[in-house]
Amino acid sequence: MMLCLMVIISMASFTLAVPKEKLVVKRTGCGGSFYINEGEQKIITSPNYPSNYDNNLNCPWIVSTSPGNTLDVNAVDFNIENLVDMLIIHDGTEAVQWTGNSLPPSYTSVSNELIFIFRTDSMNNYKGFKLIITVSGGSEKGDPHMTTFDGRRYSFQGQCWYTFFKDCSAHPDFEVISKFGPRDDIKNKTRTVSFKVTVGDQYVIVNGRDVATGSKNNGHVYSPFIHVQENNDLITLAFTSKYTTFTLEWTPRKHMLKASFSGTDYNGKLCGLMGNADGDTRNDLQTPDGFEVKDVTAFGESWKVKGEVCD
């Protein structure tokens, strides 16, 4: 009996001594290095997905894009053992941890490279996760890079207030303007510093982390059309016009403003730096008088807001 026990202990010690990386390096879908071009996407899933993942995993993925761009991470399925198994996203000097069975919020990187590490223990295993990673779109970013509602990308370096997007019907209900200011770290580059949402007589001004609400009539808002939610480093504004809901997500630390909408009432009826939302990228660079231009600077400057003070 003593001899058998010694053999069992010896075998167990040998197995535990093998590094986790060597245990998982041959598993299908466990780790890798990927580069994403603009307009492309990368899908990352936990090993065996949609079947349950294995125990004792330590899977690293490195995903990068061109310098100056950032990455959007959206989880479309997420179910791992809460507080035990973990997906860790390393973003420069930052680290974000995702766990549990609820879809985590979308994440936009600070840098052009993300490192994902999926770690599991030796106990329970679940379905896992599916992530879709793209080069950031539908937003104005630090430079600011722009991606229209239809998906056309361009870079505009104006310094002032510009029409981000607005209702271009005969009787407009809303407009969103944004302010670009110079970057301190890169010469001749700008970034988003503030924006203003106006719906009817009501408005919300966001300047960095400061949020101010009011009304054109008396300065008071009793039943706001614009809903504001502040959560750590994310400020979200949402409003509904007709049967379409618009959402703006502002991350002041990254100087990033993302816009999206749900509904079809304004397809082809928007205008501004975000284009007309008609599904065609080729006609997004339209000036306020409806002319299509090829020069990005001429297009951007045509949407400079009159009457606003430019620092």
The model carries a pTM of: 0.60
pLDDT at 15: 26
pLDDT 10s digits, 57-93? 999 999 999 876 778 888 989 999 999 999 999 988 7
Mean pLDDT of the chain: 84
How far apart, in whole angstroms, are the C-alpha atoms of residue 179 and residue 144? 11
Instruction: List pLDDT tens digits, range 171-201.
Output: 899 999 999 998 876 677 888 999 999 999 8
Are the beta carbons of 192 and 168 closer than 8 angstroms?
no
Higher pLDDT, 96 or 8: 96
Q: Are strands 94-98 and 86-91 parallel, antiparallel or unpaired?
A: antiparallel
d(CA 167, CA 260): 14
Tell me which of 25 and 214 has the higher pLDDT: 214
Higher pLDDT, 225 or 165: 165
Gap between the Cα atoms of 227 and 101, Å rounded: 28
pLDDT at 25 over 50: no
What's phi and psi for 282, nearest 5 deg? -70, -20
| pLDDT band at 8; cut points 50, 70, 90 | very low
